[in-house]
Amino acid sequence: MTHEQPCVVVLGGSGFVGGHLRAAFRSSGARVVSVSRTRPDGVAGNGPAAERFVAFDLLATSPAELAAMLAGTGADVVVNAAGGYWKMTDQQMWRANTELVSTLVAAVRELPHRPLLIQLGSVHEYGPGSRDTGFTEERTPAPVNAYGRSKLEAAHRVLEAAGASELNGVVLRIANIIGPGLPAGSLLGDIAAHLERFAQDGEAADRELVLGPLNAERDFIDVRDVADAVLAVTRAPRADITGRVINIGSGEAVSAARVAKRLIELSALPVRLVERARTGPSRGDVDCQMLDISRARQLLGWMPRRDLDASLTGLLTAA
């Protein structure tokens, strides 16, 4: 890093993950530049001395325009927290996750200095797994949905450029992110939104929350632990991380039913969870995703610090 106070550019700074990244980097003493189409909450004008906002449409820019913007910030680190997650068509997902990263890689390659590019990927790049073992970074990815495919192709583009020594880049494959500020659209975000409405209307008693089958088992990670992991990446020797994939998760798989029930319990609302029966054929194996986080411990000295209850309580408190 070239400054006493490094400059960190957070792409998608107004989003759920981006907001937590901005807060973590500000607390670390970094100068933060938040880039998004909409101004993040709490950033007035050009923001405080430790943070400023750049209005920029990442989906409607050329590599040259993006490179010029990044060069103007003097970025030491660029974190890509932008992209599409839920309720998008396959084409929209590809554009938001893959084409955006193609533009970003082309832009970073042209910069006169070499910022560290941190691409936030997803456990869904790996595809289905089992209870027997967690996914290691050496596992051959086999995504089964548009989101996983779009994120995997984005990861390939960062890793290929890093492998060709065209940029310093690392991909974090992150488990299912939960915690304060999780928006509606995901399973737990939707449940939290329903619970908030039940609490506000004063008619939660005997209400039913009807959800689809909840037999999937997932690795959940607190968004604040994700921010800690990204900070750890910026402090690691570049030679140790450039061109690498690093898993960021809890290292455990928990059933969606257990998590949903626990979220309702922590709300202390008299709401009953009703799980719809599966319709159509069912696979014999368990739909399970779990990350092996040994590499993160080894290279970053990072481990998650928040348990599931802390994450769910944070989600409810911020809802």
- Name the nearest CA neighbour of 122 among 72, 92, 162, 83: 83
Burial tier of 50 (Cβ tally within 10 Å: 0-12, 13-18, 19+): middle
Contact by Cβ (8 Å): 39, 245: no
206: left (phi over 0), alpha (psi -120 to 50) or beta: left
In angstroms, rounded to a whole number, what is the distance separating the alpha carbons of residues 116 and 168? Answer: 5
Is 147 annotated in the active site? yes
Look at the alpha carbons of 123, 125, 130, 133 in this order and tell me if their dihedral is positive or negative.
negative
In angstroms, rounded to a whole number, what is the distance separating the alpha carbons of residues 34 and 260? Answer: 33
CA angle 80, 81, 84 (to 5 degrees): 115
Going through the chain in order, the beta strands assigned E by DSSP cover: 7-11, 31-36, 51-55, 77-80, 116-122, 168-174, 176-178, 207-211, 217-218, 220-222, 245-248, 254-255, 271-275
CA angle 183, 143, 297 (to 5 degrees): 75
Of 53, 126, 147, 302, the catalytic one is 147
Look at the alpha carbons of 267, 272, 274, 275 in this order and tell me if their dihedral is positive or negative.
positive
Residue-wise burial string across 204-231, b where 16 or more C-beta atoms lie within 10 A, e elsewhere: beeeebebeebebbbbbbbbbbbbbbbb
Q: Which residues are catalytic?
A: 147
